[in-house]
Structure 1
Amino acid sequence: MSLTTPDSDYPLSEVPSGARKGLLSTSILLFGFTFFTATMFAGGKIGMAFDFTTLLWAAVIGNLLLGLYAAVLGLIASRSGLNSVLMGRFCFGEVGSKLSDILLGFTQIGWYAWGTATIAIVLVKLLGLSESLTLPLMVLFGFGFCITAFIGYKGLDLLSRVAVPAMLVLLVISLWLATRDAGGLAGLLAVQPKESMSLSVAITLVFGTFVSGATQATNWTRFARSGRVAVLSSLFGFFIGNGLMIIAGAYGAIVYQQPDVVEVLVLQGLSMAAVVMLFLNLWTTQDNTIYNFAAAGCNLLRTDRRKTVTLVGAAIGTLLALGGMYELLIPFLILLGSIIPPIGGVIMADYFYGHRARYPRLADTSLPAFNWCGLLAYAAGALCAYLSPWVAPLVGIAVAALVYVVLFELRKVLGARSPARA
Structure 2
Amino acid sequence: METTDYEHGVVPQDQRKGWLSIAAVWIAIGIDLSGAFLGIELASGMAFWDAIWATMLGSLLLGLLAMACTYVGASTGLSTAMISRAVFGRIGGAVLAIAITISLVGWFAVQTGFFGQNAQIAFHEFTGIDVPVQLFNAVGGVLMAITAFWGYRSINRLSSLAVPLLLLLLVVGVVVAFIQHGTAGLDARVDVTYTFGGAVSLVMGIFILGVVLSPDMARWAKTPKQAMAAGFVGFFFGNSIILVVAILLARVLNQTELMTMYFTLGMGGIAVVVLILAQWTTNTTNLYSAGLAFSSISSRLGRRTVTAVLAVIGIVIGVVGAADVFVSFILVIGTLIAPYGGVYLASFLTGRRTARWAHGAAVPHVDAWSIIAWAAGVLVAFATTNPADGPGFGWFTITTISSLDGLLVGFAVYVLLWLVRGGRRADAAQAVPDARTDEVAA
**Which of 109, 116, 121 is matched with 1:120 structurally?**
116
What letter is aligned with 2:89?
G
Q: CA deviation at 1:277?
A: 0.7
Secondary structure, in 3 states, of the residue corresponding to 2:45?
Answer: coil
**Which deviates more from structure 2 when the two are superposed, residues 257-266 or residues 339-348?**
257-266
Q: How has the CA–CA distance of structure 1 residues 359 and 180 changed in structure 2, closer, same or farther, with 3 Å as cutoff?
A: farther
2:404 aligned with 1:408, yes or no?
no
Q: Structure 1: which 5+ residue stretches go unaligned? A: 417-422
Distance (whole Å) between structure 2 residues aligned to residue 210 and residue 347 of structure 1: 18
2:40 aligned with 1:30, yes or no?
no
Q: CA deviation at 1:272?
A: 2.0
| Pairs within 5 Å for 1:4-403 | 7-128=3-124, 131=130, 133-184=132-183, 187=184, 189-355=186-352, 360-363=357-360, 365-389=361-385, 390-403=400-413
Q: CA deviation at 1:358?
A: 9.2
Q: CA deviation at 1:130?
A: 5.2
Q: CA deviation at 1:162?
A: 1.7
Q: How has the CA–CA distance of structure 1 residues 54 and 138 changed in structure 2, closer, same or farther, with 3 Å as cutoff?
A: closer
1:345/1:401 contact within 8 Å kept:
yes
What letter is aligned with 1:347?
Y
Q: Structure 2: which 5+ residue stretches go unaligned? A: 386-399, 427-442
What letter is aligned with 2:252?
V
Distance (whole Å) between structure 1 residues aligned to residue 258 and residue 88 of structure 2: 40
Distance (whole Å) between structure 1 residues aligned to residue 276 and residue 157 of structure 2: 16
Q: How has the CA–CA distance of structure 1 residues 357 and 160 changed in structure 2, closer, same or farther, with 3 Å as cutoff?
A: farther
Q: How has the CA–CA distance of structure 1 residues 33 and 357 changed in structure 2, closer, same or farther, with 3 Å as cutoff?
A: farther
Distance (whole Å) between structure 1 residues aligned to residue 352 and residue 306 of structure 2: 31
Q: CA deviation at 1:131?
A: 4.8
Q: How has the CA–CA distance of structure 1 residues 92 and 288 changed in structure 2, closer, same or farther, with 3 Å as cutoff?
A: same
Secondary structure, in 3 states, of the residue corresponding to 2:90?
Answer: coil
The percentage of counterpart residues that share the same residue type is 28
Distance (whole Å) between structure 2 residues aligned to residue 14 and residue 366 of structure 1: 16
Alignment coverage as a number of residue pairs: 408
TM-score normalized by structure 1? 0.91
Secondary structure, in 3 states, of the residue corresponding to 2:194?
Answer: coil
1:249/1:259 contact within 8 Å kept:
no
Q: CA deviation at 1:278?
A: 0.7
Q: How has the CA–CA distance of structure 1 residues 203 and 357 changed in structure 2, closer, same or farther, with 3 Å as cutoff?
A: farther
Task: Report the aligned-residue RMSD.
Answer: 2.1
Q: CA deviation at 1:16?
A: 1.2
**Which deviates more from structure 2 when the two are superposed, residues 271-280 or residues 342-351?**
271-280
What letter is aligned with 1:97?
G
TM-score normalized by structure 2? 0.87
1:6/1:19 contact within 8 Å kept:
no
Moved over 6 A (4+): none
2:34/2:114 contact within 8 Å kept:
no
Q: CA deviation at 1:66?
A: 0.7
Distance (whole Å) between structure 1 residues aligned to residue 71 and residue 363 of structure 2: 23
CA offset digits 1:286-338 (Å, max 9, x no partner): 11111011011111344451110110111010111122102111111111120
CA offset digits 1:59-90 (Å, max 9, x no partner): 11100111111111101111110121111111
1:179/1:188 contact within 8 Å kept:
no
Distance (whole Å) between structure 1 residues aligned to residue 110 and residue 77 of structure 2: 30
2:111/2:279 contact within 8 Å kept:
yes
Q: How has the CA–CA distance of structure 1 residues 224 and 124 changed in structure 2, closer, same or farther, with 3 Å as cutoff?
A: same
Q: CA deviation at 1:34?
A: 1.5
What letter is aligned with 1:25?
S
2:341/2:407 contact within 8 Å kept:
yes
Distance (whole Å) between structure 2 residues aligned to residue 99 and residue 139 of structure 1: 29
Distance (whole Å) between structure 1 residues aligned to residue 354 and residue 175 of structure 2: 46
Q: CA deviation at 1:285?
A: 0.7
CA offset digits 1:232-290 (Å, max 9, x no partner): 11111110111101111111222223343222212222222111111110000111111
Q: How has the CA–CA distance of structure 1 residues 369 and 276 changed in structure 2, closer, same or farther, with 3 Å as cutoff?
A: same
2:120/2:131 contact within 8 Å kept:
no
Distance (whole Å) between structure 2 residues aligned to residue 374 and residue 258 of structure 1: 46
